[in-house]
Chain A
């Protein structure tokens, strides 16, 4: 019944990924396939392992087992900077702008090792007009939403093939979150693929073409937003016990 749903050649594939933080098994045999042009959302509660998964795909954590494949090639052994140069670029949680650099310098660092492509600093300025006037400001002087936008711009100018977005909504007012997510269609229009992590489930369901729910490092649900009911998502998210159905879905999901 799910055959074909996630068929085709994936741009990014994760196979049986196991990651430990010390003794803690943060991720337990996670597999996923992200097709070109998709918005693939990983959802889950705090501590479910979402960020760990994204950071492992970016190369910031070493997996204990499993592999990460990008465009058919195994990149598990590559360092984060080499993955970035190949087109796996992450917007880290908490934005992580270079605080002693100006807005424009942040973008220039982002572009320093980037691939050639449609995104240039000029292109970013055209999309976000306010940046041009404030290009020489330190990023600490910007609001949270503006900083998040700069962080996205810094990733875009590297011309990623797959953009990893880690908790874009964290610490932002709902209205700002709406605005930040409102940019996604324009970004996708340039041919990008997006893999995002989001704690805010309704936000994720709104933008995603595929969702993947984690609970304590394990897959509990996977599918298209249209195919999953709110009850199943809730069950998978919280791991509620009345969830025989949720767990059944989980097992189906992880077999994919």
Chain B
């Protein structure tokens, strides 16, 4: 029963990881940008939510309505300025620029908010409550909701990319930006929109993580970015649903590791990550020929 519990908890945690990973995957898939500041941006979103809730006393769930658009706008602006500027030089430059961004954000947070960790506290039953399956399995509502949100976000993204005008332009610009320009599309604007979506999803993930666990200035790089990377690589680079597969595999591996020995939780996840890198470097959901 304990093992069943581990698998269930792992699958549900995978939803959170997918939420972290899909923005990273989108930016890589479209712009070939590996955003090393991805995790820090999630933490920023969480801190912004904490700030808004503290100052305005609005209900926790309402904070999403502010944080997600704010981060999306930030994503568009950062893409059109720093990231596009780096991209015009070389793909490698984007690594340095986003790494720099990561360092600046992390130290900025340390400076202004100290190293103390914070949680997005609430007495909402949705956030703190749970239900039981049998006597040994206790499932937090929050994790179920986050998993459902992740699935909805991925469905929405898939629909947007495949059926909307800008979704089509995003895919076209990812294929061949010069040909997109010849069709009248400003790929910089299109990339900005893709970045806005990616930042919006990471904002969602950051606030959700703040409710699920605790946020500190270093959480972005030492936890979120690494888990997101692992989920993306396990699922397959650039694959949207791969992030959910990767997130779930990572989550289950961690929970099973924790079941064996509580201190092996994180290690078990990375062992699976390593195994996928060695045995199936293209990821679980993508075909090898496609690249």
Contact = CB atoms under 8 A, between A and B. Distances in A.
Chain B contact surface mostly:
helix
B4 to A, nearest CB: 40
A113 B181 CA distance: 10
The residue in B175, B182, B186 that gathers the most chain A C-beta atoms within 10 A of its C-beta is B182
Contacts of A44: none
Contacts of A154: 183
Contact of A98 (B165, B176, B187): B176
B172 A101 contact: yes
A225 to B, nearest CB: 28
Contact of B182 (A84, A99, A100, A101): A84
A161 to B, nearest CB: 13
B175 A99 contact: yes
What range describes how many residues of A lie at the interface? Answer: 20 to 34
A92 B184 contact: no
B175 A113 contact: no
A63 interface: no
A110 interface: yes
A60 interface: yes
Given A79-B186, A81-B186, A112-B165, A98 B172 contact: yes
B109 interface: no
A98 B184 contact: no
B13 to A, nearest CB: 31
A42 to B, nearest CB: 18
B176 A96 contact: yes
A80 B176 contact: no
A98 B181 contact: no
Interface string A110-142: 101110000000000000000000000000000
Contacts of A32: none
Interface residues of B, number: 18
A79 B186 CA distance: 9
B171 interface: yes
A249 interface: no
B205 to A, nearest CB: 26
A30 interface: no
B168 A80 contact: no
Nearest to B182: A90
A80 B179 contact: no
B178 A92 contact: yes
Interface in B152-209: 165, 168-169, 171-172, 174-176, 178-187
Contacts of A155: 182
Interface string A136-158: 00000000000000000011001
A29 interface: no
The residue in A92, A98, A101 that gathers the most chain B C-beta atoms within 10 A of its C-beta is A98
A109 B177 CA distance: 12
A109 B169 contact: yes
A108 B172 CA distance: 11
Contact of A92 (B168, B179, B185, B186): B179
Nearest to A106: B172
Contacts of B183: 81, 84, 89, 109-110, 112-113, 154, 158
A97 B179 contact: yes
Given A98-B171, A101-B171, A113 B178 contact: no
Contacts of A100: 171, 174-175
A58 interface: yes
Nearest to A96: B179
Contacts of A101: 168, 171-172, 175
A252 to B, nearest CB: 34
B181 A81 contact: yes
Contacts of A59: 181
23 contacts: A58-B182, A59-B181, A60-B178, A60-B181, A79-B181, A79-B186, A80-B181, A80-B182, A82-B184, A84-B182, A85-B184, A89-B182, A96-B178, A97-B179, A100-B174, A101-B171, A105-B168, A108-B165, A108-B168, A109-B183, A112-B168, A112-B169, A112-B184
A-B CB proximity, top 7 nearest: A113-B184, A84-B184, A96-B179, A80-B181, A98-B175, A98-B172, A109-B172
